[in-house]
Structure 1
Amino acid sequence: MSLNENEVYEIQVYTRKYQIGTCFTCQKCLYCEKDLTFENCHCNKYEKPTKNNRTAKVRGYRGLCYDTSNAQPFLKEFMKKSNLKFGYEVNLATSFYCSLCTACNMNQVTELQLRISIKNGKEILPSILVNWSFDDIKYNDLSTKIEQLVSEHIGLTFSNEYFLAYKGSSEVGAGTLLDNEITFEEFLKDYKRYISNNKKVMIIVTMKDKKKDKKKREYKVNFGFNLNS
Structure 2
Amino acid sequence: LKEIFKKDEMRVTATVYFIRQVGNIEVHAHRAVLASISPYLFELFSTDQEQKRKENVITYKLNGGFDKVAFQFLVDYAYTAQLEVPANQVKAVYIAASHLKIDRVARKCAQHLIKYLSTDNCIEIRSLPGIAKNKDFIKQVDDYIGQNFDQIKENSYLLNLHCARIEVLNQSKEEMTLVNSSSLCRLVLDWIKKQITEDNISLSALTENTFMLYLAIDNSLQDCNSLPTG
TM-score range, shorter chain: under 0.3
**Which is helix-richer, 1 or 2?**
2
- The TM-score with structure 1 as length reference comes to 0.28
Structure with the greater relative contact order (CA < 8 A, sep ≥ 6): 1 or 2?
1
